Amino acid sequence: ESMANSGSAYVGLFVRMLGLDNDAHDREHAICTLWHYSLGGQKCIDEIMQFPGCISLIISLLKSESARACEAAAGLLHNITSVKLYRDVAIESGAMEEIFSCIRKSTITPEVTAT
């Protein structure tokens, strides 16, 4: 809970860091941070989802050259889709197709694919 409370002020910054115009390393850091933040539950996921376009930015990281960024993007999408309110948004945005592509490339760990 303390991680969720201290991180909420920075959610917008990290979502902005997912932008395609940012450095790949910064994007990787942002997606990993948001994935860990999302583990705080629905309140944390709600904070991430308040930013329009964040799903598309997360999905774009499933195509990253970095296995770490792909794994974090898949993990974050898993957490987001665990909230019924956001499941359809993620599916309509093409998340499932990109996750299947990652699985075929074997760039994400068994722990993420099993969830």
Where in the sequence is the domain holding 44, given as residue range(s)? Answer: 2-113
**Number of domains observed in the structure of the chain:** 1
pLDDT tens per residue across span 48-62 = 999 999 999 999 998
User: What span, in angstroms and rounded, lies between the C-alpha atoms of 4 and 20?
Assistant: 26
| Overall average pLDDT of the 55-74 stretch | 92
In this predicted structure, which of 21-25, 30-34, 102-106, 107-111 has the lowest mean pLDDT?
A: 107-111
**Which residue in 17, 93, 25 sits closest to 48, CA to CA?**
17
pLDDT > 50? residue 1: no
Q: What is the pTM of this model?
A: 0.80
- pLDDT attached to residue 7: 60
